[in-house]
Amino acid sequence: MKEEWLERICQRLQGRALLEEEVKWALRSWENELKKLEDKEMDDLLGLLVVSGKVQCTASLEAISKEGEEPFFSFFAWMKRMLRFGKENAKLTYHCNRCGADEKDIHLVYCHRCRGECAYCRRCLVMGRSSCCVLYYLFPCNRRKVKQNIHAEAALYSYPQLTEAQCAAARSALEFYEGPSDEKQEFLVWAVCGAGKTEVMFPLLRYLLENGRSVLWATPRRDVVLELAPRLQRAFPDYALAVLHGNTPPQEKWNADQLVLATTHQALRFYRRFDVVIMDEVDAYPYTSDDMLPFAVNRARTLSGKTVYLTATPRPDYQKRMQKPTNHKDFLPHVKIPVRYHGHPLPEPVICRESKLNNRLRTRKPIHTLLSFIENSEKRGRPVFIFVPAIRQLPILYDYILAHNENWKTKAATVHASDPEREAKVMALREGRLQALLTTTIMERGVTLSGIQVLVCQADAPVFDEAALVQIAGRAGRSASVPDGQIIFMAEEVTGAMKAAIRQIKKMNRLARELGYISYT
């Protein structure tokens, strides 16, 4: 009976990296029989797995001597919570095995669990407490039976609705995956906003799933996970989809099907599980600002696995790698999709300079660019996004607009990241109950509205870098019925970021024309 339990635990948790309490939560959420076990009985089962070599176990956070010698603490010593610090603290440095954090993110506190001074990691604290007295389990993933139920060309031809540009990108992704595993393990799809990059991945996904491969589709933002989940379920109804994010119900949190859609934070709970990782919006916050997230995503992939990055605005380091010779060790294989699915060129932003913007907004003096933009949008009945650099500027801009046109009192609203009514306001804009949203950069991604007009107020602010401005410009012209749209960068000074964003958009339009992808002029 015990052997049967050990096999079931290994099978259930294969490819997982979990703190000891997470292991127990996961098993008890799946197996009714395990709910009856005491913690000590559960510890005994896990101990047997470790001793037999089927599971790796260590402290979630380790103390390492500064001379490079690792203090020896046996598994059973860890189980008794006997690790303590004291006079030896000065000779120790710390490393979080869970998220890779070093000493700057590690803090010493008195721990009631081990009844002594204990270190814990603040970097991954949002995912549970990693500390010196908490065990950390790595469950190896069993080798899967690889089938050849479908060939790459057949997977590609399963989607005749793809445009020529999308089909070329999908073919490149399939060719990358079929290449030798000892060559390049990373591939980037550079798709303009609204190019349909999700659908471009469907042939590769079908090829992988039907041939028995496992896939993690990761993205930094929960709202993207929620938006993608029904699309993936409709596209692949024959495959179970695990959807993991911070608000996933407890009984579903530990699911790990062949296809997993998750936030990048959730990747921290996987270990060498996935044959392919599709990293969506690789340029988005917080992925670009937190080293823990790339660490987690990379560790979730098998050693011979591959990663596909999806982005409309590659970071400078990626762009440098793409420009290297193809035989260079740092070269990043890639493909560009320079046109939207509807075949129209991208709307190109214009720069409008206005002096003393802050002062004129506060004193409500006329700003020609802003007032004419609002007036034209009102006449045409087009929905509007007006972006500002900071939350504190939203009420100033709102009051300014009302001072010059009271009609907007019931047609405009402000929105920002911590606004509890954010989703309701976006829905009101979609349904026509609102015509304008004054917003921070929170709306630069993930919102698609037909006919949207865009103005960036104080576009010379540091928060509006090249990537942000390209994403903001990408809100306009996404609909086939209204493929155009006005985009204005209003600022006192013209910044390099503004020029670079416009240059990038024009470059993509030029490339699309050269390749014959643009169907309209």
pLDDT in tens, 170-204: 999 999 999 876 678 999 999 999 999 999 999 99
Q: Which two tokens stand for residue 405?
A: 């046109």
Backbone angles phi, psi at 139, to 5 degrees: -105, 110
Residue 77's pLDDT is 40
Residue 141's pLDDT is 87
Q: What's the number of CA atoms in the CB half-sphere (13 Å) around residue 364?
A: 10
Kindly compute the dihedral angle of the four CA atoms of residues 90, 92, 97, 101, in this order, to the nearest 10 degrees.
Answer: 50
Instruction: Give the separation between CA 245 and CA 221, rounded to whole angstroms.
Output: 9
Residue type at position 390: A
Instruction: Give the separation between CA 75 and CA 222, rounded to whole angstroms.
Output: 37
pLDDT bin (cut points 50, 70, 90) of residue 72 is very low
Instruction: Tell me the domains of the chain and their CATH numbers.
Output: 2-139 (no CATH), 152-337 (3.40.50.300), 350-514 (3.40.50.300)
Residue 32's pLDDT is 64
pLDDT in tens, 478-496: 988 889 999 999 999 999 9
Whether the per-residue pLDDT at 378 is higher than 60: the answer is: yes
Residue 81's pLDDT is 34
Taking the chain, what is the end-to-end CA distance rounded to the nearest angstrom?
Answer: 72
Residue 33's pLDDT is 66
Instruction: Give the separation between CA 377 and CA 453, rounded to whole angstroms.
Output: 7
DSSP structure string for 128-141: ---BTTSEEEEEPP
pLDDT in tens, 106-118: 888 888 887 888 8
Q: Mean of the pLDDT values across residues 8-25?
A: 90
pLDDT bin (cut points 50, 70, 90) of residue 75 is very low
Q: Assess contact for 189 and 337: CB atoms under 8 A.
A: yes
The helix/strand/coil state of 368 is helix
Instruction: Give the separation between CA 374 and CA 382, rounded to whole angstroms.
Output: 10
**Which distant-in-sequence residues (6+ apart) come within 8 Å of 510 by Cβ?**
none
Residue 147's pLDDT is 72
Residue 69's pLDDT is 45
Instruction: Give the separation between CA 331 and CA 253, rounded to whole angstroms.
Output: 37
Residue 91's pLDDT is 57
- Bridge pairing between strands 301-311 and 436-439: unpaired
Residue 89's pLDDT is 55
Q: Of 488, 425, 146, 101, nearest to 442 (Cα)?
A: 425
Whether the per-residue pLDDT at 68 is higher than 70: the answer is: no
Q: Mean of the pLDDT values across residues 431-435?
A: 92
Instruction: Give the separation between CA 407 and CA 311, rounded to whole angstroms.
Output: 39
Whether the per-residue pLDDT at 82 is higher than 60: the answer is: no
Please give the angle made by the CA atoms of 424, 428 and 432, to the nearest 5 degrees.
175
Whether the per-residue pLDDT at 1 is higher than 80: the answer is: no
Instruction: Give the separation between CA 260 and CA 241, rounded to whole angstroms.
Output: 6
Q: Assess contact for 402 and 408: CB atoms under 8 A.
A: yes
pLDDT bin (cut points 50, 70, 90) of residue 150 is confident
Q: Mean of the pLDDT values across residues 216-221?
A: 95
Which has the minimum average pLDDT: 36-45, 257-266, 362-371?
Answer: 36-45
Q: Mean of the pLDDT values across residues 504-516?
A: 96
Q: Which two tokens stand for residue 470?
A: 């390209």
Q: Which two tokens stand for residue 319?
A: 């762009």
Residue type at position 212: G
Residue 83's pLDDT is 43
Residue 100's pLDDT is 92
Strand partners, 17: 138
Q: Mean of the pLDDT values across residues 43-71?
A: 80
Residue 76's pLDDT is 41
Q: Mean of the pLDDT values across residues 428-455?
A: 90
Residue type at position 432: G
- Bridge pairing between strands 384-387 and 106-111: unpaired
Average pLDDT score over the chain: 89
